[in-house]
Amino acid sequence: MLEKLKLVPHTAGVYCMRDKGNHVIYIGKAKDLYKRLASYFVNKSHDQKTTAMLSRVQDFEYFVCNTENDALCLEANLIKRHKPHYNILLKDNKAFPYILVTDTKIEITRQLNKRGKYFGPYFNGIWASGLLDTIYDIFGIRESADAATIQNIKSFLNGDSDFGAEELLTKKMEQASNLQQYELAIRYRNGIRFLDRLKERTITNVGRDVNCDVFGYASRADIFVVSVLTVRVGKLIGVQNFANKNDSPKIDDEKLDEFIGQYYLENVRPSEVITTAKAGYKKRLVEMSRENAREYIEVSIEKIEHKHQFTVGACQELQKVLGLAIVPKKIECYDISHMGGEGVVASMVTFVDGNAEKKLYRKFRIRHALGATPQDANNDPLSMFEVLTRRLKRLGGTDDSFATAPDLIIVDGGKTQLSATISVAKDIPVIAFGGQYDEVFVPNEKLPIALNKHSYALRLLQRIRDEAHRFAIGYQKEVYRKQSLR
């Protein structure tokens, strides 16, 4: 790697560290790529976390960027794609709803690729649906509106004017009640309560024009927590906390920058992002976010350690049980489903670091079964051979599901299914999992491996197998339903 290092330029960019399984295990950005990479491979004095990461590095690659901002964006996108073990990851981020106002209508959306003005996100008791209903009632519209009303709605959501909303809804509530339209009166009453809840979120000495996200963090030896305060039109809309294993060799401020880059791949960036402040309401908000992170870290330790045992820890246990050369970071599992030989399909589910990666799932129609007799179609080993052949032919392609090889292939079944797939898998480890007692069948062994029923490795295999089974049955029912309608 020292020879390769000589070719690295003194420019801004992003670098990726790969292990012997060719997995990306760490991604970083640098103002000077050469100096940063040289600090790893030339300098022999490192802290414990950097030493642990470098002990697994077998190769590196780099990408030159025009500016540091370009490097920040590329780093965030690559981390999102590869989910490296030694990076801070934006996990379990829910797609919170926004209100989208276009030239002609107003709607709730979780997609950030539409044209228009976004307001939000809304969560922690300030629900987008409640706000939308309140807007409908204030302005007397349903989705579509003229240009003047659209402008008024934007002003309302910006906090420029309340348009006498509470008085208007009170009047409408009383009128509906007098007309014995009680359901409508309750709707208006709920709108009034919603507006009251918004008032309660107002932050002292913060103007209506303040729209910001405030980031604070807390860290311990093994856990790094980021707390995000969302402030819109001077109101604290909500708080989110994100906890991660603290394996990254970066310093804490760099970890926070890395996290923020990923956060805004999934969220709309407000007019201001605050991480530090010296005085005023900004300092209060930063202190609040940091205190929130410190409190959250106390309740997260046990939860994170427990999840680690069920995911990454289970993969490590599986490596030992199966005698694999590397920890199976990426696992693919295949299952065949049909009804009496008709509508034969297969599922491929993918788990990364012990977690389901649903965007990588794929479904297959079994071709040899099309037009075959039920007896010939009902040949699971032949179907498994076909689906694995088709999948592995697409290695190195542009589809993320197929581009990289798995570290372990699991086929649902026993010896017969395993025998049908060994020749296709070639150098990729493959096992069969199933039977009455959930046994593991491995190549060149007559007897199955019986795992301890309390082991995390067994629970992981069961989760993966059950997910492949669920996905296959769902697709088979879909195919059967379409065929029955012909």
Is 120 part of any domain? no
**Residue percentage of the chain with pLDDT more than 70:** 93
Q: Are residues 264 and 167 in the same domain?
A: no
Closest alpha carbon to 349 in 339, 338, 337, 335: 335
Number of domains in the chain: 4
| Residue 94 belongs to some domain of the structure | no
Note whether 262 and 79 are within 8 A (CB): yes
Residue 126, pLDDT score: 73
When mean pLDDT is compared over 73-77, 127-131, 273-277, the highest value belongs to 273-277
- Residue 115 within any structural domain of the chain: no
Instruction: State the residue for tokens 């309750």.
Output: 186
Backbone angles phi, psi at 67, to 5 degrees: -135, 165
pLDDT of residue 273: 94
Q: Is the pLDDT of residue 349 over 60?
A: yes
255 and 354 share a domain?
A: no
- At residue 217, the pLDDT reads 93
What is the mean predicted confidence (pLDDT) over 194-215?
79
Q: Taking residues 463-486, report their average pLDDT.
A: 86
SS (H, E, C) the chain: CHHHHCCCCCCCEEEEEECCCCCEEEEEEECCHHHHHHHHHCCCCCCHHHHHHHCCCCEEEEEECCCHHHHHHHHHHHHHHHCCCCCCCCCCCCCCCEEEECCCEEEEECCCCCCCEEECCCCCCCCHHHHHHHHHHHHCCECECCHHHHHHHHHHHHCCCCCCHHHHHHHHHHHHHHCCCHHHHHHHHHHHHHHHHHHHCECCCCCCCCCEEEEEEEECCCEEEEEEEEEECCEEEEEEEEEEECCCCCCHHHHHHHHHHHHHHHCCCCCEEECCCCCHHHHHHHHHHHHHHHHHHHHHHHHHHHHHHHCHHHHHHHHHHHCCCCCCCEEEEEEEEEECCEEEEEEEEEEECCEECHHHCEEEECCCCCCCCHHHHCCHHHHHHHHHHHHHCCCCCCCHHHHCCCCEEEEECCHHHHHHHHHHHCCCCEEEEECCCCEEECCCCCCCECCCCCCHHHHHHHHHHHHHHHHHHHHHHHHHHHHHCC
How far is Cα of residue 35 from the mean position of the Cα atoms in its chain? Answer: 32
pLDDT of residue 472: 92
Both tokens assigned to 118 = 């976004």
Q: Are residues 195 and 222 in the same domain?
A: no
Q: What is the CATH number of the domain that holds 259?
A: 3.10.20
What whole-number distance in Å separates Cα of residue 85 and Cα of residue 102?
41
Q: Which CATH number fits the domain that encloses residue 446? A: 3.30.420.340
pLDDT for 125 equals: 66
The CA-CA-CA angle for residues 343, 349, 355, to 5°, reads 155
Tell me, yes or no, whether 291 and 403 share the same domain: no
Residues 465 and 338 in one domain: yes
pLDDT of residue 396: 86
Q: Mean pLDDT: which of 236-240, 366-370, 457-461 is highest?
A: 457-461
How do residues 402-453 score in pLDDT, each as one tens digit?
A: 989 999 999 998 888 898 888 898 889 999 998 778 899 999 888 888 888 8
- Distance, in Å, from the CA atom of 290 to the CA atom of 276, rounded to the nearest integer, reads 10
Domain boundary among 262, 297, 332: 297
Task: Compute the distance between CA of residue 275 and CA of residue 180 in angstroms, rounded to an integer.
Answer: 53
Q: Check pLDDT > 90 for residue 202.
A: no
First to last CA, the chain: 61
Q: Does 91 have pLDDT greater than 90?
A: no
Which of 166, 200, 234 corresponds to the end of one domain? Answer: 200
Answer yes or no: do 133 and 227 share one domain. Answer: no
Percent of the chain whose pLDDT exceeds 90: 33
pLDDT recorded at residue 317: 94
CA 234 vs CA 166, 250, 259, 277: distances in Å: 19, 34, 24, 17
Q: Are residues 459 and 333 in the same domain?
A: yes
Same domain, 75 and 224: no
pLDDT tens string 364-404: 998 875 655 556 667 888 889 999 999 999 998 888 899 89
Is residue 356 domain-shared with residue 323, that is, in the same domain?
yes
Domain annotation covers residue 72:
yes
Query: Both 397 and 456 in a single domain?
Result: yes
Q: What CA–CA distance (Å, rounded) separates 368 from 386? A: 8
Output the domain CATH number for residue 40: 3.40.1440.10
The pLDDT of residue 236 is: 83
| pLDDT surpassing 80 at residue 485 | no
pLDDT at 363 over 70: yes
- Quick one: pLDDT at residue 109? 87
| pLDDT score of 37 | 92
| Residue pLDDT, tens place only, 144-172 | 788 899 999 988 888 777 888 899 999 99
- Structural domain span for residue 13: 2-82
Q: Average pLDDT of 242-257?
A: 84
Whether residues 192 and 217 fall in one domain: no
The residue among 145, 170, 200 that closes a domain is 200
Q: Tell me if 278 is assigned to some domain.
A: yes
Please indicate, yes or no, if residue 287 is contained in any of the structural domains. yes
Mind listing the pLDDT tens digit for each residue in 96-152? 788 899 988 898 888 777 888 888 787 766 778 888 898 999 988 877 788 899 999
Residues 369 and 454 in one domain: yes
More confident residue, 340 or 463: 463
pLDDT band with cut points at 50, 70 and 90 for residue 45: confident
Question: For 215-238, what is the mean pLDDT?
Answer: 86
The mean-pLDDT minimum among 20-29, 106-115, 308-317 falls in: 106-115
Among 10-14, 89-93, 456-460, the range scoring the smallest mean pLDDT is 89-93
